[in-house]
Chains A and B, each alone.
Chain A
Amino acid sequence: MKKAVVVLLTLCLILTLVGCDKGVVDDGKKTQSPDVGGDPSTPPEEVTFDGVIKVGAVGPLTGAAAESGIAARQGQELAVAEWNAKGGIKIGGKKYEIKLLYEDSEGKPEVAVAATEKLLGVDKVDVIFSETLISSCILAVMDLAPKYPDVVFSTIEGVSTGIPEKFAGDPEKYSNFFKACWSSDSYGKAVAEGAMYLMDQGMTAKEKTVAFVLEDTDYGRSNGNAAEKILAANGWTTVAYEVSPQGATDFYSQIFKLQGLNPSIVVSCFVPVASGIAYTKQVDEIGAEWTDIAIVYPTKPGYAEDTGKACAGLFWTPIEVDYNSPELLDFAARIKAMHNVPVTKCQVSGYDVTNMMFEAIERAGTWKATEGLSKAYEASEYNGLCGRFVFDENHCAIAGEGYLNLALGQIQEDALTSLIVWPEAMQQAKPFKQK
């Protein structure tokens, strides 16, 4: 009897979870999983495809980085839907429908490798985005690239400098592997140079002291380390380097500690928005007087709404996209129509990189790496919503002026809009002093 009750409760739980699925929205539009060939945009009736190009993708759809992984997937699904709606990829007068097959890496290297092997060996995808976000998984998957020389591998994000270093160790071996994102040294440069600019503009206290409050992940630590290195080379002193588990929401002890040390600038980096919201609110509550520079969490949906006026004046990076531009507003509307979620930076990255790949396939006239796609993708100069994608000699996207935008912005007094304050060439508003 007891066992029957437990089984019944388990079934009820499953049904509840399935019922919470957002796949079917109230307005009747159905978002189908792309791996069953779903295409939410109805292609024109007259389009008939001559073939299929299978595109694989492996990303963290569960685990600590799931929020970003799912967002990247949403951007990729939109790109696939739009290409199919306009007739697919055209090669040699033929139209090829794009089929996106997605697998979960769970954020673990061995699972990412298994998922990638499955897509390549069993599903026989023609092109693969693996792994999309997590640097340790990317490093593990990189070693599959030489085993599948006909397939182009691309990441969406992933900032570890270990990736271009591994490429540089044997460029021929990894010739079909690409990292479509900058590295943490670019992040570090933006944070450090932005911090020095703010000091020059009188936005911070005069002492060259900095503290870091970071999440204990590759993303948090590598970005923090990169910024610390450049600041130290310019005479700055790190007074504290605080690390918390990813997803932590209690920063009171770190904030009280920093209050005692009184740095001029505190650099904080969290991927989960909940951590960013908690940190901002707690800093505001305690009334800390340092200048905050945030990395990535202000880009997440819900941050401005949940922090309210507490986030006004916050400096943050990366502003890769101008969320007020007509292009981004249009993109946001399309993402909302397809997935019923607000726009985030990871969706834009997923969208841009996927479009860049499809454009390269059309330009090369092939999806095979050895028959020209590697060279075509390598030679990409793609103008996306994030900026201009160009790969350097280590197959790593370049960040900076004229390339991918990596600017420092400030949340304005209305606590809702952000404007670029650095670099000056892209400046949309003068910085003002945080409270």
Chain B
Amino acid sequence: MQPGFIVCLLFFGLLAIFPLIIRESYILHVGILCMMYSCYTSSWNLVSGFAGIFGLGFQALAGVGGYVSALLVINRGISPWIGIFIGAFCSMIIGAFFSIPSLKMKEMPYIAISSMCLGEVVRLIVANTPEVTRGEMGLSGMQDFPNIGPLSFSGGNRTSYWYLILVFLILYVTIVNHIVKSPLGRAMNAIRDSQSAAASLGVNVTKTKITIYLISSFMMGVIGGFYAHYMQVLTPSSVLGPLTMTLIVAMVLVGGNATIAGPIIGAFALTITTEFLRIFGDYRLVAYGVIIVLSVIFLPQGIWGTLRLKILPYLNKKSEKSITT
């Protein structure tokens, strides 16, 4: 069994037993946010880290998933279990609408700007159709997820939502791992390193980029739907605003780009840090900014990247030395 797989098992095992040990609602809520952001960052990292497509505006895809799911549940009485997947499918359609014309471009700045505009366009459409979405007045009235066996979601049961998002996170890690190790993943890596070289080796660059973008859009949409039924209130500024994307980018950079563990580590690190920094009172966000700046300066490969490239080999070397002497 590979060490990485063992670490993964331990990590998810710990997450699985955590709510059985810690019942405090606040801590469970923070943990749910950590896992939710881990799903966001893993989805985005698939496109940005592994395929090299620095697309912004991904919060729009999550937001579309959330709004579609919420509106279907409120207006049509559809079960949230179905609503989140219809919402994710709609996110994928938006992703297709953007990616098919845009990802033919090779230069990253153009993709970044055009995807950022996508995010703004979606936000403005949602904000300016209050008769459908209630705009900035807030869409609420979504249901909790219906119960599954012993798991009851009513009343915002933190433990049940914990396990639901944990299942999503495990699925997402599995999907990302599978994609990265598949021929599609190898094509993504080739594109990231050099689109021209990849094309010369027979990789269909545009098709690969669009495929991975659509997969990522669907994944973002599912978690957007989760957010909608967990928080039960949606506003364009809180869900579709650019600050959400900034947070996702920061988490991936801090955790480690183009790795499977890095985005998850970044999501956990920054979410927990934000809450921990409440002890700084009014200077909380100042401290938060300083931490991000320092981590980008001193850990340019991110936490996981630094661990993997510098600390783990150093520890391996030391243990080999102690064995031989």
Which residues of A come within 8 Å of B, CB atoms?
3, 6-7, 10, 14, 17-18, 21, 33, 35, 61-62, 64, 103-104, 107-111, 113-115, 117-118, 120-122, 135-136, 139-140, 143-144, 146-147, 160-162, 166, 216-218, 220-222, 225, 243
Contact = CB atoms under 8 A, between A and B. Distances in A.
A62 B274 CA distance: 13
Interface secondary structure of B, over-half rule: helix
A159 to B, nearest CB: 9
Contacts, number: 109
Given A10-B294, A140-B231, A222-B137, A17 B127 contact: no
Contact of B286 (A17, A33, A113): A17
B13 to A, nearest CB: 25
Interface stretch (B22-30, B45-53, B54-62): B22-30
Interface residues of B, number: 40
B162 to A, nearest CB: 14
Contacts of B290: 10, 14
B282 A33 contact: yes
Nearest to B144: A143
A7 B294 contact: yes
A193 B4 CA distance: 69
A110 B247 CA distance: 14
A104 B231 CA distance: 18
Contact of A139 (B140, B227, B285, B298): B140
Interface of B: 24-27, 29-30, 33, 127-128, 130, 134-138, 140-141, 155-156, 227, 231-233, 235, 237-238, 274-275, 278, 281-286, 290, 293-294, 297-298
A132 to B, nearest CB: 16
Interface majority SS on A: helix, strand, loop or mixed?
helix
A135 B281 contact: no
Given A14-B290, A121-B24, A109 B137 contact: no
B135 A118 contact: no
Given A117-B29, A162-B137, 5 more contacts: A121-B24, A121-B25, A162-B134, A217-B136, A222-B136
Contact of A113 (B27, B29, B282, B285): B29
A18 B282 CA distance: 10
A316 to B, nearest CB: 22
B140 A162 contact: yes
5 contacts: A117-B25, A118-B275, A143-B232, A166-B141, A216-B127
